[in-house]
Amino acid sequence: MSTFAASHLSPSYPDRAAWGTAPKLRAWQQEAFDLYFRREPRDFLTVATPGAGKTTYALRIASELLANGVIRAVTVVTPTEHLKRQWADAAGRVGINIDPEFKNSQGATSRDYTGVAVTYAQVAMHPALHRARTEARKTLVIFDEIHHAGDAKSWGDGVREAFEPATRRLQLTGTPFRSDDNPIPFVGYEEDAEGFKRSVADYSYGYGPALDDGVVRPVIFLAYSGEMKWRTRAGDEIAATLGTPLTKDQLSQAWRAALDPKGDWIRQVMQAADRRLTEVRRGVPDAGGLVIATDHETARAYARHLRNISGEGATVVLSDDPGASKKIKQFAASEDRWLVAVRMVSEGVDIPRLCVGVYATSTSTPLFFAQAVGRFVRARKRGETASVFLPSVPTLMGLANEMETERDHVLNKRPPEDGLDDTLLEQANREKDTPDVLGDELPFETMQTSATFDRVLFDGGEFGTGAELGSAEEEDFIGLPGLLEPDQVATLLRKRQSDQQAAKRKQPADEPRQTLAPHEQIAELRRELNGLVGAWNHRTGQPHGVIHSELRRACGGPPIAQATAEQIQERIAIIRRWATQRR
């Protein structure tokens, strides 16, 4: 069942309350809340996009069940230690005392607490203990990001054993899809038309509806290409242009070179991101930025770059740092410019003032990408926008173009889709001391890297014609106001692109017309297709991402960022045919 926010209720409140403690429910929260109490279910799966406010909703249900005597205790199960404390803080502010420091060795907690917060790993280590606790009192179990219960068979079995006796179970997730066949405990599955078992949510609230309701921010993706040069262990010097068609090995090496803190690419991109942050702060004075790094060494190096760029030190959060939670909390309450983290803030961590991000990690699974972008979409008031800087890598571009795609967990399916590998996600919240290896390439030395502005991606559309760093064309997009409604973002992006194309058409007619290189031809075709998609959006009201998905269904092939020139031309022909045949 997929439902949208009730039209008669206010979708968002003027000022954002402390995490999980809003005095007034948003429309979707109220609708899901009402549905829950109409059904009075033992199990209830709520799928809501990151940033929508699942914590507020869950704590309101817990308060109601406690007040009515349906339950006497609450257990919150989370993926990470930091989230245990975050839930306990939020619950405490609404009068539910949760112990986030509960250890398996304790066996029981103080009578001052209504319940405990534990991790999935903690439950899997001693499920019998948690089963005994659950049987002792009528308990509501809140599963935060329930898909983690399927991370390993032992985890799933442990969760089932521990919480099978629970009086009520409330499952929450923003990203329910997984690449493996491990069923998620207490989640229902139904057979689809192709004979595969697909997870079924009791209530769903996706990014598209949340954006329409003003509950989340619109996300502008700024992609950067550039020249990369490196030397292999064998002594060979190789050069490639990020953002052009490359083999898998070339792409992985060029990507690795781009993220190397010894090169100029990442420094130049962070410099552009800092300029964007300055612009956003004109309308959002406390706006902050987050660089998501791959490992400890590069995180520290990125922080040094940011100090040189902005003149201010950056907060660095490492996964093995016992003070990580405290640092995140302090940064969230400050007005500091930059936070650098080793991917551990990809999920659940609440820093609502984050408005600008740099995706400087090699992890490219759909699950991790969605959760990472989720750190920037948490709206406090209408008009705030989010900007995420990323390398021009086809996988990332495809994910950015399909922000509105909603997935389910499917069992017994075909081999995993390319990039849909949860192993990397599982590693994301663990200690990272050494750099990741992208592919099977030989170790190499980065010799030279430089960045070039490629394009902007928004709502499934692509804007911009490519430009040098610091050029007027790049500044057109870097300088977008930080306070804009989604439709204003789209209007301004179209105008920027139209102005740039008009300027190019004004070039002297007698200038010789150069033959386009393959990557230039693909870029031109993408722009043509996106212009037609924009026109179709105005005509039908369908979101850009939905139109692109319909074109893919009609023509086959990968997302636009990975499509060949021939495949893009076929989609152009199809959408032109729609324009003449459809009313």
CA 287 → CA 227, 337, 406, 500, distances in Å? Answer: 31, 7, 28, 29
Confidence of residue 347 (pLDDT cuts 50, 70, 90): low
Per-residue pLDDT, averaged over 262-270, amounts to 96
Q: What pLDDT score does 425 carry?
A: 41
Q: If you average pLDDT over residues 543-568, what whole number do you get?
A: 83
- pLDDT beyond 80 at 549: yes
pLDDT tens, residue by residue, 163-190: 999 999 999 988 765 555 667 888 877 7
- Confidence class of residue 474 from pLDDT cuts 50, 70 and 90? confident
Residue 206 has pLDDT above 80, yes or no: yes
Query: What is the rounded CA–CA span in Å between residue 422 and residue 403?
Result: 18
Question: What pLDDT, on the 0 to 100 scale, is given for residue 358?
Answer: 97
Q: Across residues 463-481, what is the average pLDDT? A: 82
pTM value is: 0.71
pLDDT at 426 over 50: no
CA distance 290 to 268: 16
> How deeply is 263 buried, as exposed, middle or buried, from its count of CB atoms within 10 A (0-12, 13-18, 19+)?
buried
Tell me which range, 182-186, 208-212, 220-224, 364-368, is most confidently predicted by mean pLDDT: 220-224
d(CA 565, CA 353): 40
DSSP code for 184: P
**What is the mean pLDDT of the segment spanning 404-413?**
46
Please check the confidence at residue 42 and state whether its pLDDT lies above 60: yes
Mean per-residue pLDDT over the chain, rounded: 80
Alpha carbon distance 96, 91 (integer Å): 5
- pLDDT at position 514 is 52
Out of 36-45, 159-168, 374-383, pick the least confident. Answer: 374-383
Strands 219-232 and 444-458: antiparallel
561 residue type, one letter: A
Is the pLDDT at 414 greater than 60, yes or no? no
Is CATH 3.40.50.10810 the right assignment for the domain spanning 27-205?
yes
CA torsion through residues 377, 380, 384, 387, sign: negative
Which whole number is the average pLDDT over 1-29? 51
Distances (CA, A) of 503 to 421, 465, 497, 506, 516: 44, 11, 10, 5, 18
pLDDT of residue 538: 63
For range 509-538, the mean pLDDT: 68
Query: Looking at 175-184, 349-358, 491-500, 544-553, which range is the least confident one?
Result: 175-184
Which pLDDT belongs to residue 19? 44
Question: Which pLDDT does position 299 carry in this prediction?
Answer: 94
Q: Please give the Cα distance from 44 to 180 (Å, whole number).
A: 22
User: For position 81, what pLDDT does the model report?
Assistant: 85
Do 27-205 and 214-407+444-506 have matching folds? Answer: yes
Q: What is the pLDDT, as a whole number, of residue 267?
A: 96
Is 14's pLDDT higher than 60?
Answer: no
Q: What pLDDT score was predicted for residue 178?
A: 55
pLDDT of residue 176: 62
For helices 127-136 and 153-163, what crossing angle results, to 10°? 20
**Residue 313, helix vs strand vs coil:** coil
Rounded Cα gap, residues 471 and 72, in angstroms: 62
When pLDDT is averaged across residues 378-383 and rounded to a whole number, the result is: 82
For domain 214-407+444-506, is the CATH number 3.40.50.300? yes
Helix axis angle for 81-93 and 54-67, nearest 10°, is 60
Residue 12 pLDDT: 42
pLDDT digit string, tens, across residues 43-92: 999 999 888 889 999 999 999 999 999 999 999 999 888 889 989 999 99
Domain ranges of the chain: 27-205, 214-407+444-506, 518-581
Higher pLDDT, 179 or 306: 306
State the pLDDT at residue 340. Answer: 94
Residue 339 scores a pLDDT above 70: yes
pLDDT of residue 131: 96
Q: Predicted confidence band at 114 (pLDDT cuts at 50, 70, 90)?
A: very high
| Distance in angstroms (rounded) separating the CA atoms of residues 480 and 496 | 10
Q: Tokens representing 435?
A: 């750099």
- Output phi, psi for 162, to 5 deg: -70, -40
The per-residue pLDDT for 152 is 63
pLDDT score, position 60 = 95
Contacts of 64 (CB under 8 A, 6+ apart): 37
| Highest mean pLDDT, choosing among 191-195, 302-306, 465-469, 564-568 | 302-306
How far, CA to CA in Å, does 27 sit from each of 60, 210, 211, 282, 285? 14, 10, 13, 30, 28
User: Given a cut of 80, is residue 120 above it in pLDDT?
Assistant: yes
Percentage of the chain exceeding pLDDT 70 = 80
**Complete DSSP assignment for 205-239:** E-HHHHHHTTSB--EEEEEEEEEEEEEETTS-EEE
Q: Give every CB contact of residue 322 below 8 A, 6+ residues apart in sequence.
A: none
197-199 sheet: strands from edge to edge? 189-191, 197-199, 410-411
The three-state secondary structure class of 409 is: coil
Helices marked H in 376-517: 394-401, 422-428, 472-478, 486-505
Strand partners, 258: none
Which has more pLDDT, 578 or 415? Answer: 578
User: What pLDDT sits at residue 143?
Assistant: 95
Report the pLDDT value the prediction gives residue 350, as an integer from 0 to 100.
Answer: 75
Which structure tokens are listed for 215?
């509950």
